């Protein structure tokens, strides 16, 4: 595991440094949907990571956001979001990260999230705790949703589908102290792990958005489920992560909101 961890942190830092340096450059933007975009930096960053994986671990599988990769039938699979927060990045808004996870069979065993603007490296290995720049981190001690500082995001099809998080947001904003929508689900999860946020929920995320953060939250003592409290898995349509202490209250709020959705 040490070799995997050292590789993942090194390539995350290298990729993040590249992204930071290009942040204020002119970007070539391609639209995957009306508001879902990708920059040339996303693709270059992914190639930086996957080329190193192919060189060092040529038998491992890869799941990543920008390109498709043929299955090699390995027990190991790298799950990569080379630039989480692309819309922020395309606008020069300095909130984004590199997210890398390693899955063995059906279990995430390593998670790395690197915020290059703050030079913060969140790392977790299964059963070994969660760390920020080498210092062990833990979720917050907030016990009531009324005192909680939480995060969320909105899906790219917000204009086309009524399952767009607006009903959940309207219900939750009346219960929490404050809600932030920063535009990077991976960073939101890392911040739950570090106690900066008390909770996070979102709909329609992809495995590369959550794989690393899921493990980091749990290794920091938090809880990750779907909205009903069932076990989270990479293909879950929704995610709820918290410090555990406000988890049931958040579930109750989401349940009330769901009852009003057509």
pLDDT tens sequence for the chain (262 residues): 669 999 999 999 999 999 999 998 767 766 665 546 678 888 999 999 999 999 999 999 999 988 888 899 999 999 999 999 999 999 999 999 999 999 999 999 999 999 999 999 999 999 999 999 999 999 999 999 999 999 999 876 657 666 778 899 999 999 999 999 999 999 999 999 999 999 999 999 999 999 999 999 999 999 999 999 999 999 999 999 999 999 999 999 999 988 776 5
What distance lies between CA 217 and its chain's CA centroid?
A: 10
CATH code reported for the domain at 2-137 = 3.30.540.10
pLDDT at 32: 60
Q: What angle do CA 184, 87, 253 make, to 5 degrees?
A: 40
pLDDT at 246: 98
pLDDT at 253: 96
Residue 72 phi/psi, 5-degree rounding, is: -110, 0
pLDDT at 259: 79
pLDDT at 172: 96
pLDDT at 98: 98
Q: Which of 247, 134, 55 is nearest to 239 (CA)?
A: 247
**Class of the CATH domain delimited by 145-258:** alpha beta
pLDDT at 33: 56
Give the DSSP letter string of 35-97.
S-EEEHHHHHHHHHHHHHHHHH-TT-EEEESSS-------SEEEEEEEEE-HHHHHTT----E
Measure Cα distances from 112 to 5, 77, 92, 120, 219 in Å.
8, 14, 23, 10, 12
What distance lies between CA 106 and its chain's CA centroid?
A: 18
Residue 61, beta-bridge partner list: 77
pLDDT at 134: 97
Structure tokens at 254: 């989401």
Considering the chain, tell me which residue range(s) the CATH 3.30.540.10 domain(s) occupy: 2-137
Considering the chain, tell me which residue range(s) the CATH 3.40.190.80 domain(s) occupy: 145-258
């Amino acid at each position: 595991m040490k070799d995997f961890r050292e590789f993942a942190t090194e390539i995350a830092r290298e990729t993040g440094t590249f992204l930071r340096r290009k942040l204020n450059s002119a970007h070539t933007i391609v639209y995957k949907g009306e508001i879902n975009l990708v920059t040339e930096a996303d693709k270059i960053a992914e190639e930086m990571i996957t080329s190193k994986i192919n060189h060092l671990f040529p038998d491992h599988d890869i799941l990543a956001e920008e390109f498709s990769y043929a299955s090699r039938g390995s027990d190991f699979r790298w799950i990569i979001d080379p630039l989480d927060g692309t819309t922020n990045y395309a606008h020069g808004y300095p909130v984004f990260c590199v997210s890398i996870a390693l899955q063995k069979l059906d279990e995430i065993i390593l998670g790395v999230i690197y915020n290059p603007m703050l030079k913060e490296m969140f790392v977790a290995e299964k059963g070994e705790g969660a760390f920020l720049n080498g210092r062990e981190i833990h979720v917050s001690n907030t016990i009531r949703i009324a005192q909680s500082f939480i995060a969320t995001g909105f899906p790219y099809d917000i204009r086309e589908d009524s399952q767009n998080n607006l009903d959940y947001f309207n219900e939750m904003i009346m219960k929490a102290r404050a809600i932030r929508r920063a535009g990077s689900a991976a960073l939101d999860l890392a911040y739950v792990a570090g106690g900066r946020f008390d909770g996070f929920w979102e709909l329609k995320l992809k495995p590369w958005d959550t794989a690393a953060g899921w493990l980091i939250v749990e290794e920091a003592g938090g809880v990750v489920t779907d909205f009903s409290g069932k076990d989270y898995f990479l293909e879950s349509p929704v995610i709820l992560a918290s410090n555990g202490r406000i988890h049931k209250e958040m579930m109750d709020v989401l349940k009330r909101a769901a009852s009003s959705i057509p």
